[in-house]
Chains A and B, each alone.
Chain A
Amino acid sequence: KAGVTQTPRYLIKTRGQQVTLSCSPISGHRSVSWYQQTPGQGLQFLFEYFSETQRNKGNFPGRFSGRQFSNSRSEMNVSTLELGDSALYLCASSSGQGGGYEQYFGPGTRLTVT
Protein backbone atom coordinates (compact mmCIF):
# COMPACT_ATOMS: atom_id res chain seq x y z
CA LYS A 1 0.00 0.00 0.00
CA ALA A 2 1.41 3.38 -0.94
CA GLY A 3 2.06 5.85 1.85
CA VAL A 4 0.95 9.43 2.21
CA THR A 5 2.18 11.54 -0.68
CA GLN A 6 2.68 15.29 -0.74
CA THR A 7 3.35 17.58 -3.64
CA PRO A 8 5.39 19.54 -4.30
CA ARG A 9 8.29 18.49 -2.09
CA TYR A 10 10.02 21.85 -2.28
CA LEU A 11 8.71 25.31 -3.03
CA ILE A 12 10.19 28.79 -3.05
CA LYS A 13 7.81 31.73 -2.98
CA THR A 14 8.05 35.48 -2.50
CA ARG A 15 6.39 37.45 0.27
CA GLY A 16 2.83 38.37 -0.61
CA GLN A 17 2.28 35.45 -2.95
CA GLN A 18 -0.02 32.55 -2.23
CA VAL A 19 0.68 28.83 -2.30
CA THR A 20 -1.31 25.59 -2.52
CA LEU A 21 0.03 22.32 -1.14
CA SER A 22 -1.45 18.93 -1.92
CA CYS A 23 -1.76 15.72 0.08
CA SER A 24 -2.95 12.27 -0.98
CA PRO A 25 -3.72 10.01 1.99
CA ILE A 26 -3.14 6.29 2.25
CA SER A 27 -5.75 4.43 0.24
CA GLY A 28 -8.84 3.89 2.37
CA HIS A 29 -7.96 6.60 4.89
CA ARG A 30 -10.62 9.26 5.19
CA SER A 31 -9.06 11.47 7.84
CA VAL A 32 -6.37 14.00 6.90
CA SER A 33 -4.56 16.41 9.19
CA TRP A 34 -2.00 19.11 8.46
CA TYR A 35 0.91 20.26 10.62
CA GLN A 36 3.56 22.94 10.41
CA GLN A 37 7.08 22.32 11.65
CA THR A 38 9.45 25.18 12.37
CA PRO A 39 12.64 25.24 14.45
CA GLY A 40 11.14 27.68 16.93
CA GLN A 41 7.61 26.31 17.36
CA GLY A 42 8.08 22.60 16.71
CA LEU A 43 5.19 20.61 15.25
CA GLN A 44 1.97 22.62 15.30
CA PHE A 45 -1.49 21.39 14.30
CA LEU A 46 -3.16 23.27 11.44
CA PHE A 47 -6.36 21.47 10.39
CA GLU A 48 -8.17 18.16 10.55
CA TYR A 49 -10.57 16.91 7.88
CA PHE A 50 -12.88 13.93 7.69
CA SER A 51 -15.26 13.24 4.83
CA GLU A 52 -14.74 16.72 3.37
CA THR A 53 -15.60 18.41 6.68
CA GLN A 54 -13.15 20.40 8.77
CA ARG A 55 -13.43 18.99 12.27
CA ASN A 56 -10.73 20.96 13.99
CA LYS A 57 -8.56 23.98 13.34
CA GLY A 58 -5.37 25.05 15.04
CA ASN A 59 -4.39 28.50 16.20
CA PHE A 60 -3.27 29.94 12.88
CA PRO A 61 -4.40 33.13 11.09
CA GLY A 62 -7.12 33.08 8.48
CA ARG A 63 -4.47 33.20 5.74
CA PHE A 64 -4.19 29.45 6.27
CA SER A 65 -7.05 27.47 4.81
CA GLY A 66 -7.68 23.97 3.63
CA ARG A 67 -10.16 21.63 2.07
CA GLN A 68 -10.75 17.96 1.46
CA PHE A 69 -12.19 16.39 -1.66
CA SER A 70 -14.55 13.47 -2.04
CA ASN A 71 -11.62 11.14 -2.78
CA SER A 72 -10.08 12.18 0.57
CA ARG A 73 -7.26 14.11 -1.06
CA SER A 74 -6.61 17.39 0.69
CA GLU A 75 -5.13 20.77 -0.13
CA MET A 76 -4.00 23.60 2.06
CA ASN A 77 -3.60 27.17 0.92
CA VAL A 78 -1.59 30.00 2.42
CA SER A 79 -2.35 33.47 1.10
CA THR A 80 -0.27 36.63 1.42
CA LEU A 81 2.83 34.72 2.40
CA GLU A 82 5.08 36.06 5.15
CA LEU A 83 8.70 35.21 5.87
CA GLY A 84 7.58 33.40 9.02
CA ASP A 85 5.55 30.94 6.94
CA SER A 86 8.78 29.26 5.88
CA ALA A 87 8.45 25.77 7.31
CA LEU A 88 8.04 22.08 6.64
CA TYR A 89 4.35 21.38 6.07
CA LEU A 90 3.31 17.85 6.92
CA CYS A 91 0.19 15.93 6.11
CA ALA A 92 -0.98 12.87 8.03
CA SER A 93 -3.77 10.39 7.39
CA SER A 94 -5.59 7.87 9.53
CA SER A 95 -8.26 5.25 8.99
CA GLY A 96 -10.51 6.31 11.81
CA GLN A 97 -13.09 8.95 12.40
CA GLY A 98 -11.11 10.57 15.14
CA GLY A 99 -9.10 9.69 18.21
CA GLY A 100 -7.37 6.43 18.93
CA TYR A 101 -6.09 5.75 15.44
CA GLU A 102 -2.53 5.71 14.23
CA GLN A 103 -1.64 8.60 11.99
CA TYR A 104 0.86 8.22 9.19
CA PHE A 105 2.78 11.18 7.86
CA GLY A 106 3.91 12.11 4.40
CA PRO A 107 7.42 13.35 3.57
CA GLY A 108 6.36 16.99 3.82
CA THR A 109 6.58 20.07 1.63
CA ARG A 110 9.47 22.40 2.41
CA LEU A 111 8.23 25.96 1.81
CA THR A 112 10.73 28.80 1.68
CA VAL A 113 9.43 32.36 1.58
CA THR A 114 11.89 35.03 0.44
Chain B
Amino acid sequence: DQQVKQNSPSLSVQEGRISILNCDYTNSMFDYFLWYKKYPAEGPTFLISISSIKDKNEDGRFTVFLNKSAKHLSLHIVPSQPGDSAVYFCAASASDTDKLIFGTGTRLQVFP
Protein backbone atom coordinates (compact mmCIF):
# COMPACT_ATOMS: atom_id res chain seq x y z
CA ASP B 1 0.00 0.00 0.00
CA GLN B 2 1.73 3.13 -1.25
CA GLN B 3 0.73 5.82 1.23
CA VAL B 4 2.61 8.57 -0.59
CA LYS B 5 2.40 8.70 -4.36
CA GLN B 6 4.15 10.69 -7.02
CA ASN B 7 2.32 9.74 -10.16
CA SER B 8 4.64 11.49 -12.62
CA PRO B 9 7.92 9.63 -12.89
CA SER B 10 9.45 12.40 -14.97
CA LEU B 11 9.00 16.04 -15.90
CA SER B 12 10.81 18.15 -18.48
CA VAL B 13 10.75 21.95 -18.23
CA GLN B 14 12.48 24.75 -20.05
CA GLU B 15 14.88 26.95 -18.13
CA GLY B 16 13.15 30.00 -16.67
CA ARG B 17 9.70 28.42 -16.63
CA ILE B 18 7.82 27.01 -13.65
CA SER B 19 8.26 23.40 -12.55
CA ILE B 20 5.33 21.85 -10.70
CA LEU B 21 5.83 18.54 -8.97
CA ASN B 22 2.86 16.78 -7.44
CA CYS B 23 2.36 14.38 -4.57
CA ASP B 24 -0.71 12.61 -3.15
CA TYR B 25 -1.10 10.84 0.16
CA THR B 26 -3.69 8.55 1.64
CA ASN B 27 -3.01 8.53 5.37
CA SER B 28 -4.93 11.30 7.13
CA MET B 29 -2.60 10.92 10.15
CA PHE B 30 0.22 12.58 8.22
CA ASP B 31 0.71 16.11 9.45
CA TYR B 32 4.17 17.09 8.25
CA PHE B 33 5.38 17.03 4.68
CA LEU B 34 8.82 17.51 3.20
CA TRP B 35 10.42 17.76 -0.23
CA TYR B 36 13.89 16.46 -0.97
CA LYS B 37 16.14 16.69 -4.01
CA LYS B 38 18.39 13.76 -4.76
CA TYR B 39 21.28 12.93 -7.07
CA PRO B 40 22.30 9.30 -7.74
CA ALA B 41 24.44 7.69 -5.04
CA GLU B 42 24.02 10.70 -2.73
CA GLY B 43 21.81 11.40 0.25
CA PRO B 44 18.62 13.44 -0.24
CA THR B 45 18.98 17.19 0.24
CA PHE B 46 16.22 18.88 2.24
CA LEU B 47 14.43 21.59 0.26
CA ILE B 48 11.31 22.74 2.05
CA SER B 49 8.63 21.49 4.42
CA ILE B 50 5.10 22.30 5.45
CA SER B 51 2.99 21.55 8.47
CA SER B 52 -0.62 20.50 8.10
CA ILE B 53 -1.75 23.69 9.84
CA LYS B 54 -0.55 25.69 6.84
CA ASP B 55 -1.52 25.60 3.20
CA LYS B 56 1.57 27.31 1.77
CA ASN B 57 5.23 27.71 2.59
CA GLU B 58 7.74 29.63 0.54
CA ASP B 59 11.53 29.68 0.50
CA GLY B 60 13.19 31.55 -2.32
CA ARG B 61 12.39 29.89 -5.62
CA PHE B 62 10.60 27.01 -3.88
CA THR B 63 6.97 27.05 -2.74
CA VAL B 64 5.03 24.11 -1.36
CA PHE B 65 1.23 24.06 -1.39
CA LEU B 66 -0.85 21.72 0.74
CA ASN B 67 -4.49 20.84 0.09
CA LYS B 68 -5.54 18.74 3.07
CA SER B 69 -9.05 18.02 1.84
CA ALA B 70 -7.66 16.58 -1.38
CA LYS B 71 -4.65 15.01 0.39
CA HIS B 72 -2.45 16.63 -2.20
CA LEU B 73 0.70 18.71 -2.11
CA SER B 74 2.77 20.31 -4.80
CA LEU B 75 6.21 21.86 -5.12
CA HIS B 76 6.62 24.88 -7.39
CA ILE B 77 10.06 25.93 -8.57
CA VAL B 78 10.19 29.37 -10.17
CA PRO B 79 12.22 30.09 -12.22
CA SER B 80 13.58 26.65 -13.04
CA GLN B 81 17.32 26.37 -13.57
CA PRO B 82 19.43 23.60 -15.17
CA GLY B 83 20.98 22.93 -11.74
CA ASP B 84 17.51 21.91 -10.52
CA SER B 85 17.71 18.77 -12.65
CA ALA B 86 17.52 15.86 -10.18
CA VAL B 87 15.03 13.42 -8.68
CA TYR B 88 12.56 15.02 -6.28
CA PHE B 89 10.96 13.07 -3.46
CA CYS B 90 8.05 14.08 -1.31
CA ALA B 91 7.84 12.56 2.15
CA ALA B 92 5.32 12.56 4.98
CA SER B 93 5.34 11.87 8.67
CA ALA B 94 2.81 11.65 11.46
CA SER B 95 2.96 13.24 14.91
CA ASP B 96 5.49 12.01 17.44
CA THR B 97 7.69 10.25 14.93
CA ASP B 98 10.49 11.08 12.56
CA LYS B 99 9.57 8.10 10.40
CA LEU B 100 9.28 9.38 6.86
CA ILE B 101 7.19 7.70 4.20
CA PHE B 102 8.60 8.59 0.81
CA GLY B 103 7.01 8.81 -2.59
CA THR B 104 8.62 7.10 -5.55
CA GLY B 105 10.19 10.27 -6.89
CA THR B 106 9.88 12.48 -9.96
CA ARG B 107 12.85 13.04 -12.22
CA LEU B 108 13.00 16.70 -13.21
CA GLN B 109 14.99 17.77 -16.23
CA VAL B 110 15.44 21.47 -16.89
CA PHE B 111 16.73 22.18 -20.38
CA PRO B 112 18.13 25.46 -21.76
A75 within 8 A of B: no
Closest 6 CB pairs of A and B: A105-B43, A43-B102, A99-B95, A98-B96, A100-B32, A56-B99
Which of the four size classes fits the interface of chain B? 20 to 34
Binding site for A on B (CB under 8 A): 31-32, 34, 36, 41-46, 49, 51, 89, 91, 93-105
For A51, the chain B residues whose CB sits under 8 A away are none
CB within 8 Å of B: which residues of A? 4, 6, 31, 33, 35, 42-45, 48, 50, 55-56, 58, 88, 90, 92, 94, 96-108, 110
Q: Across the two chains, which residue of chain B brings its CB closest to A91?
A: B43
A99-B95, A100-B32 as given contacts; A33 in contact with B100, CB under 8 Å: yes
B89 and A43 contacting across the interface, CB-CB below 8 Å? yes
Known: A99-B96, A100-B31. Contact between A42 and B49, CB under 8 A?
no
- B98 with A103: CB separation less than 8 A: yes
Given contacts A42-B102, A99-B31, contact A108 B41 (CB under 8 A): yes
With both chains docked as a complex, state the minimum distance between the C-beta of B22 and any C-beta of chain A, in angstroms: 17
Q: Measured between alpha carbons, how far is A38 from B49 in the docked complex, in Å?
A: 24
**List of B residues within 8 angstroms of A90 by Cβ:** 43-44
Residues of A within 8 A of B42 (CB): 107-108
Q: Is A100 touching B95 in the complex (CB atoms < 8 A)?
A: yes
- Our pick among A6, A33, A103 for the contact of B34 (Cβ within 8 Å) is A103
Contacts of A98 in B (CB 8 A): 95-98
